[in-house]
Amino acid sequence: MTVRMIDVGGYRLRAVEQGVGPLVLMVHGFPGLAYSWRHQMAPLAKAGFRAVAIDSLGYGGSDRPAGQDAYTSERMQDYLLAVLNHYGADRAVIVGQDFGAQYAWNLAVRAPDRVAALIATIPYDYDLAGRAMLGAAPRLPAGEPARPEASSPDRAPSERFAAMARAHFVHFHYFGQVGPAERELAGRVPEFLARLFHELSAGGDLWRWKTMPSEGSGYLDVLPDAPPLPWPWLSKAEFDLFVAGYDHVDPMLRFIGGLNSYRTADANWTIGREWADHDVETPTLFLYGREDPSFGFFPDWEDRLRKRVPGLYDIVALPDAGHFLQQEQPAAFNRAMLDFLGRVMA
């Protein structure tokens, strides 16, 4: 396995690679690292692909700029294309999880000539800056208050998140404020990662935050204690590598990649208006964890996905998997991934 730093235009991304062949670029979300794809590297290489996983900007060994402008969807697209260019790949398979799925969908729509195939774990256009696959046109009358919806063509995300937060704590709103999350989490990295990993997995219950008010609550106030490691899908040694990957000499930058991904929601929603009526023609496999608690944000996603993704090859639900399905059920994830690639890349 090779580790390298890639210049993506003013910043450097840490990339891990294995194998020779067509490029498969894997992009993690929050909380994650290139290490999130450790179970996929060798199987892809054995199948004749060049497997590459990156630490996204603001994470792990990649650069961590503080400014939010470095994390908009346009800039993230530029970085991914720079990675493809570094490897001399005119086209690549893009695999995305969480925010990585947002970037992967965007790339397939906005630079379709560069994406040979797509594997995503979060529905198209349901990300923090998405419109729930409903298109660009607003549906609410002018002047009507924002509704408490995570994704919508109506009102900027920050307005909708604030409406959600009036009922209970929601991390979308909490993370959007510069300062509180940094101060809360900087000195409690292992505790926060363990709690969030567990609550987003098949064994967790992220929605317990609905019992907590926004006022006066931090994220650690609403996340229950995690059971002791090891877990069936995560060893203590693996967890320690994640903790090390989030460390930084500047405490305010330890989680900056994830936090700025939330804070660019309004900017990305504005940028995305131009693309909101575009369907996804790229050959696509949608893989998700059947117990992924984040799907509570995605009403009617399957019918909409089948309509808006004419390139859809299949939808595969992995049992006993939550948000981190490629880690929780790697064998099943890899079988579905390699079957799909064997058919569309033949």
Catalytic residues: 98, 323
Chain-centroid distance of CA 320 in Å reads: 20
346 contact partners, CB below 8 Å, separation of at least 6: none
| 123, 266, 258, 202: CA torsion to nearest 10 | -30
Query: What does the alpha-carbon distance between residue 346 and residue 344 come to, in Å, rounded to a whole number?
Result: 6
Query: What does the alpha-carbon distance between residue 335 and residue 144 come to, in Å, rounded to a whole number?
Result: 47
Phi, psi of 92 (to 5 degrees): -150, 160
User: Across the strands, what pairs with 18?
Assistant: 51
Query: What does the alpha-carbon distance between residue 295 and residue 56 come to, in Å, rounded to a whole number?
Result: 23
Contact predicate 107/77, CB 8 Å: yes
* Per-residue tokens: 324: 């981190």
Angle at alpha carbon of residue 31, lines to 29 and 34, rounded to 5°: 60
* Per-residue tokens: 85: 């260019």
Contact predicate 40/31, CB 8 Å: no
Phi, psi of 291 (to 5 degrees): -105, 20
Mapping DSSP to helix (H, G, I), strand (E, B) and coil, where does residue 251 land?
helix
Is 186 exposed, middle or buried (CB count within 10 Å of its CB: 0-12, 13-18, 19+)? middle
Of 34, 205, 237, whose CA–CA distance to 196 is shortest?
205
Provide the residue count of the chain. 346
Per DSSP, the residues of 162-181 read: HHHHTTS--HHHHHTSTTHH
